[in-house]
Structure 1
């Protein structure tokens, strides 16, 4: 904590409000459950009506802090912007007179507070902390004026993150609409025909993927070998393959025969797609850009290697992401209650929509790639701001740095440099 010897306990700056109400007595009131509180965010992400819930709830007022006691490592707490009722899994904390509620919100999100709350949980299946535990948390005794200055800084950083997330969401919606229009009307508003998987441009051909690309299956884990020369090589897992991008932040290695390396090796321009699992993993993926000199892929990830004289890898990757592609994967997948998967036979039969010219494929790719680049710009900015936000929250709340010592223009410049990187 701070080198400042003067500290206060949470109980000296906030009260627990335990007013229980029957939601039927106020059916039009806002209802907030844990599902409406996102990790590390200061404001709610949704809400319901009291009329839609049953059993006793806590009442809260505008300016109260709603703190999630269940699994405190999830870091769930928000500042209420209006009166309402909430689940009893949220503790209602009210700032005492002279305490900035925004400052209180920051306290319950700081690293030391979360660790303090976790260390006092009870229950192995559903660990919960309690007011009895968190009320003892100690923090530096900041004067009211400095509390508000700290709150100004951390809320500005927090709201900048929300602005990035909104821009990412807008970009994703723009991309969905662009793919819908491009893959149903083409570039020039072609006449349309109805296919089994949605509308398509009338002048485009439909060709089985197996006729315009090679589908490569991956290597299975856990095989046993005797008397074989073995090597450890990086491999692409389902966790690395996201919808529209690859996450290579954590790459693992697999033990395979040296003679098999070329068989399972990824090549630059391969479109990597997952076979399924959860419904959101079905056919998701994008393009391997040769990020590693040598990398193979596991058997739950397919590598599609298009014949570039007929089909551009980027065009197929976007088609697979589109509503048309997702409709095909869902139609042919083997489904159970919560799972769906495809095999190589189904993937090879994918009816690829092919424009009359490669130039049209390139133009479509350029449009969608420009949207992707804009989304990625905001994603990089969000990552920089997240790091900045966490550092500010930690160091300001424990008194390691003071607002007066901050050069916020330098911090803003650092964020912008991170975006440009």
Structure 2
């Protein structure tokens, strides 16, 4: 026997020629099934093929019929196909009636099926046909309409493995980011409360009222929709204020501000807060202006700013981290007012007394947090790149534009 590298012909076929769709449901309350994991659409992450939650049918209180899933089956959510929710199961499980349990036929690679379903071509098809009804949902007849070109089994497996490897890298990076974020949250809880002190610092902490060190200002006033999207001025968006403790000005947008208008300009080291939210836990999330704003940069009307007058009392970046920590969130939540939407008055916020370390210790704590942020951002950049690479690989490999040579046996 010898082996040679070949590139075989791809053949057009229907998706349902590659898989069978299981029919017949089981009672999740029956002893044989009640302890099996039950997978529903909300247990899957969009686009990634990842399982977010693994919980038994009994724990979920399931009572209606479910499909029995075996290792190697691919589960696909028929509801809102634009969310791209699919999962290759490697254990016995049940799945919701809102999902299709697909069993690959002999010679068909399960990973190839999974990535095909998660690909843009199938998603565009499923989204378009699901729009025919009031509720976005792809039925079995519509599923049978989808056709694709398919390589032989060996190349299917090679493509599946290649895309699985990228998924493993993406999942590893996501876990690393989550771990670093958890470590950072623990650091914040310890360092911002004085439970843990950085080496070399032993000075007394003191109470500081925010109005002692600075004052607030409001966002843009007197503007309507026609003023936004054009003009020579720029403004910090609500979204960027909400994103994180350090605001870099990467999402500034245009606004028209006429000469002679009195508007408050944003300056470096201002601390910006959102004034309202749907929950009290998300009111007054702080972001420090950690860049030099161009001239005529303003703040959106849904936020307000705080500008320090005494830099020897409070480090502005420390303040931003504080109001994003658990202790800062609890403090703000106690001040929020509202029923369906919660607001915080600037006068109440500046009356808050914070228990703060000396300024040099604040700055050292900020350096520790910046280092943690830098590690998380570097991992985030790698994660973004890995996701982009996967999208490119899917576009090339699942269409046959790029071929993976496979070893074929020959006599």
TM-score under structure 2 normalisation? Answer: 0.87
**How many Å apart are 1:250 and its aligned residue?**
4.7
1:318-337 CA distance string (max 9 Å, x none):
11111121011100001324
SS of residue paired to 1:376: helix
Aligned to 2:107: 98
- CA distance in 1 between partners of 2:278 and 2:82 (Å): 25
CA contact (8 A) 1:98 1:144 kept: yes
SS of residue paired to 2:118: coil
SS of residue paired to 2:233: strand
**How many Å apart are 1:134 and its aligned residue?**
2.3
- What pairs up with 1:86-165 in 2 under 5 angstroms? 86-122=95-131, 125-165=134-174
- In the alignment, does 2:27 pair up with 1:22? yes
1:327-373 CA distance string (max 9 Å, x none):
11100001324x32212112212323321x32111111111111111
1:73-120 CA distance string (max 9 Å, x none):
111111112111111111111111111111110000000000111111
1:36-64 CA distance string (max 9 Å, x none):
01101123110222122221222211111
1:163-218 CA distance string (max 9 Å, x none):
1111111111111110111122265389xxxxxxxxxx993212221211221211
Number of aligned pairs?
A: 385
Comparing 146-155 with 132-141, greater Cα deviation is found at 132-141
Moved over 6 A (4+): none
Aligned to 1:336: 339
Listed as ranges, the gaps of 5+ residues in structure 1 are: 191-200, 406-421
**1:88–1:246 Cα change, 3 Å:** farther
Aligned to 2:272: 272
1:214-253 CA distance string (max 9 Å, x none):
212111464599xxxx955222222222133548665432
Aligned to 1:207: 208
- In the alignment, does 2:9 pair up with 1:7? no
**How many Å apart are 1:122 and its aligned residue?**
4.7
**How many Å apart are 1:138 and its aligned residue?**
2.1
- CA distance in 2 between partners of 1:234 and 1:36 (Å): 41
Aligned to 1:410: none
- CA distance in 1 between partners of 2:16 and 2:172 (Å): 33
- In the alignment, does 2:198 pair up with 1:218? no
**1:291–1:159 Cα change, 3 Å:** farther
Select 1:62's aligned residue among 71, 76, 79: 71
- CA distance in 1 between partners of 2:88 and 2:272 (Å): 42
Comparing 340-349 with 167-176, greater Cα deviation is found at 340-349
- CA distance in 2 between partners of 1:391 and 1:343 (Å): 48
**How many Å apart are 1:21 and its aligned residue?**
1.3
CA contact (8 A) 1:217 1:302 kept: yes
SS of residue paired to 1:384: helix
**1:103–1:224 Cα change, 3 Å:** closer
**How many Å apart are 1:67 and its aligned residue?**
0.5
- The alignment yields a C-alpha RMSD, in angstroms, of 2.5
Listed as ranges, the gaps of 5+ residues in structure 2 are: 1-8, 407-411
Aligned to 2:5: none
- CA distance in 2 between partners of 1:202 and 1:246 (Å): 30
CA contact (8 A) 1:231 1:258 kept: no
Aligned to 2:3: none
TM-score under structure 1 normalisation? Answer: 0.85
- What pairs up with 1:298-317 in 2 under 5 angstroms? 298-306=300-308, 307-317=310-320
- CA distance in 1 between partners of 2:44 and 2:78 (Å): 12
- In the alignment, does 2:239 pair up with 1:239? yes
SS of residue paired to 2:21: strand
Aligned to 2:45: 38
- In the alignment, does 2:398 pair up with 1:389? no
Q: Which has the higher helix share?
A: 1
SS of residue paired to 1:106: helix
Comparing 131-140 with 243-252, greater Cα deviation is found at 243-252
- CA distance in 2 between partners of 1:126 and 1:21 (Å): 26
- CA distance in 2 between partners of 1:404 and 1:245 (Å): 47
SS of residue paired to 1:44: coil
SS of residue paired to 1:210: helix
1:239-289 CA distance string (max 9 Å, x none):
22213354866543233333336x321111122221231335322232222
Aligned to 1:411: none
Query: Which is bigger in relative contact order (C-alpha 8 A, separation at least 6)?
Result: 2
